[in-house]
Amino acid sequence: MKIAFLTPEYPHPKTGSSGGIGTSIKNLAIGLLQQGHSIRVLVYGQKEDAVFEDNGITVQQIRNVKFKGLSWFLTRKKIEKIINQLYENKEIDLVEAPDWTGITSFIQPQKCPIIIRLNGSDTYFCHLDRRPVKWINKFHEKRALQKADALLSVSQFTADRTNEVFGLNKEFTIIPNSIDSSSFTIGKVIPPSGARGLLYFGTLIRKKGLLELPLIFNELIKTMPEAKLVLVGKDVPDIVSGNTSTWQMMQSLFTNEALQNVSYLGSVPYAEIRKQIEQASICVFPSFAEALPVSWLEAMAMQKPIVASNIGWATEMIEEGKDGFLVHPTHHKEYANSIVQLLENTELQKRFGIAARKKIEEKFSTEVVAKLSLLFYESLVDKF
C-alpha cells in the first residue's frame, strides 16, 4: 500500500522540533516500511515547500499560506490540492492525520480516504487539565472528526473522553502507539539499588504532573535520604500561572534537603536520554494528561520498572503490580511508598522490567502495530 501521514511535526533536522505525534508517526512509518509499504509524510507549517528522503520515507514539507484572516482556510485548501494530485498520480492510497487542532476540518479530497488517529486533541487535553479550550480549536477538531472517513485511537480512554468532550457517538478502532523494540537494547549497566534512583524524561509541564513530582520526592527523601532524581526534557512556560519556567516553579516546591538530590539536565540529544534510562533504577511519570505516551513505552522496552499515574490510559499500558505501580499523582505519600518498595527490592525491579519488555514485544512493537494498522487501512480502501 501507499500510505500518507499528514502532521504538524516530524522528528528530522529539516522539519524542526517534534513531540509525541511526530515520534509515533515515525515509529509506525518505519514498521510499515519494513513490511514493504510506501510511506509519505506530509509536514505542514514548514518554512518552505520541499521533498526529501529519510531512510526510505518520503517527507514532503508544506509551507503554510500567509493571508491575513484566511491563512487557516487557504492552507487547508493547499493541502487538499496536494492530496488530490498525489492520489490521482497513484502515489498514495489514503491519508492518516492526527486529531490535534483538526487540520482536516476543511480538507475534502475528491476520492482519497481520510483517517483520523486520536493522539489527544487540544480539547481533550484541556478537559483533562481542567482549563478552557480555544473555541476555534474545538470547532476544527470536532468538524475533522465528523468529516473523517474512519477513526482510530491509541487508547480506549482517549476515544471515550473524545466522544464525551465533543458530544459525539463515534466508533473508534483502538490501535496503540508503538516503538521499534529491536532498537532498544537492554542496558548492560545494573544501577545500584536506591542510590541511583529515579528518572523523569519528557517535557517539564504541569499536565504531566511536574508540580506534583517535587512533593512526591519530598516524601521519598524522608524515608530514603540518599535517593536521587534526574529530570530530562524541555522546560516550558506554565499556561495556568503565566510563569515562564515550570522548572523554576518546581524548585520552590522541593525541600532544601530534597533539592540537593535533584539534577535537571534540560533538553539533551536522544542518545543521552537512552543513557539516562539505562542508568536509572526506576522511571516516574505522574501525569494527569496523556493519550498513550511513547516515553513510557521506551522505558518499558529498556526493562525499567515504572511508577506512573493511575488515570485512564495508564491501565491500558501497565498492569498494577505486574509491570509497574499505578498511583494518583496527588497521593504523594502513597506514590513515594511505591517508589521505596521498588528501590529496596532489586528482584522486584527486575521482575517488573522483564514483564514490561515482554508486553512491549507482544503488544506495542512496531511490527505488531503496523500489521494491525495495515489491516485497518485495507478494510477502508476496499470500501472506496
- 148, 204: one domain: no
- 118, 196: one domain: no
* pLDDT tens for each residue of 77-104: 999 999 999 999 999 999 999 999 999 9
CATH of the domain at 343: 3.40.50.2000
- 31, 76: one domain: yes
- 190, 329: one domain: yes
- 218, 335: one domain: yes
In this prediction, residue 191 carries a pLDDT of 53
- 193, 322: one domain: yes
Averaged pLDDT for residues 26-50: 96
Distance CA 46, CA 96 (A): 19
- Domain of residue 204, residue span: 182-364
* pLDDT tens for each residue of 299-331: 999 999 999 999 999 999 999 999 999 999 999
Residue 189 has pLDDT above 60, yes or no: no
* pLDDT tens for each residue of 246-263: 999 999 999 999 999 999
Element (H, E) at 13: none
Residues with Cβ within 8 Å of residue 353, at least 6 apart in sequence: 303, 304, 305, 323
In this prediction, residue 196 carries a pLDDT of 61
In this prediction, residue 188 carries a pLDDT of 52
- 20, 168: one domain: yes
Residues with Cβ within 8 Å of residue 140, at least 6 apart in sequence: 72, 101, 102, 103, 105
- 186, 331: one domain: yes
* Number of domains observed in the structure of the chain: 2
Average model confidence (pLDDT) across the chain: 94
Residue 223 has pLDDT above 80, yes or no: yes
- 218, 169: one domain: no
- 66, 92: one domain: yes
Averaged pLDDT for residues 335-362: 95
* pLDDT tens for each residue of 118-167: 999 999 999 999 899 999 999 999 999 999 999 999 999 999 999 999 99
Under the banding of pLDDT at 50, 70 and 90, the label for residue 193 is very low
* pLDDT tens for each residue of 263-284: 999 998 888 888 999 999 999 9
Which set of grid coordinates corresponds to residue 36? 514493504
Using alpha carbons, list the distances in angstroms from residue 306 to 120, 222, 333, 344.
Answer: 22, 21, 17, 14
Instruction: Residue 235: count other Cβ atoms within 10 Å of its Cβ.
Output: 19
Residue 383 has pLDDT above 80, yes or no: yes
Q: Find out whether 308 and 296 touch, Cβ atoms under 8 Å.
A: yes
Distance CA 67, CA 146 (A): 27
Tell me what percent of the residues of the chain surpass a pLDDT of 90.
Answer: 89
Averaged pLDDT for residues 71-81: 96
Residue 237 has pLDDT above 60, yes or no: yes
- 93, 153: one domain: yes
Q: Tell me the pTM.
A: 0.92
- 208, 315: one domain: yes
